[in-house]
Amino acid sequence: MSPWRRACLKVVDTTFLIGLLRNDPGAVEKARELDEEGGAATTAINVYEVAYGVHRAMSDPARRMGAFERLLSNLDVLPLDQRSALRAAEISGSLDRKGDSIDPFDSLIAGIALESGADCLVTRNASHFGRIRELKIEGH
């Protein structure tokens, strides 16, 4: 069993993290729900995606990065390990064979979530992840 496994592990995606940083009411309410359920995790890939966006932003990246780091202090960050990378490759290869390619970062996020025993992925990008049958999607 994964060391990250909880009674109910939910992994939050980049869209959720950005929503929280922007004080989006839907994301804030979902964060309250997740907190009542015992918290959530994110992946190292999601950390990269948000941090890249912060550093690419034209206005006040230091302040934005500080806010993001405070947010991350409330989440477990699931790493990309060998099992997760192999699972992501399996997901990508399977979808590619069907002519339905997936963004490499999305397959890595899904691989990490699935190998960590996640119950679902909290995202606004259901169309990106919904093609992965093993992965349950929860909106916000």
Could you tell me the residue ranges of all domains in the chain?
10-138
Catalogue the E-assigned strands of 20-123: 41-43, 76-78, 120-122
SS3 76: strand
Residues of the chain under the 70 pLDDT cut = 1-7
The residues that bridge with 9 in the sheet, in sequence order, are none
Tell me, what's the pLDDT at 119?
Answer: 84
What phi and psi, each to the nearest 5 degrees, are found at residue 106? -65, -40
Work out the number of other CB atoms within 10 angstroms of the CB of residue 9: 21
Domain range 10-138, its CATH number among 3.40.50.280, 3.30.1960.10, 3.40.50.1010, 3.90.1110.10: 3.40.50.1010
Tell me, what's the pLDDT at 140?
Answer: 84
Structure tokens at 81: 């390990």
Tell me, what's the pLDDT at 97?
Answer: 96
Instruction: Tell me how far apart the alpha carbons of residues 9 and 26 are, in angstroms, rounded to a whole number.
Output: 20
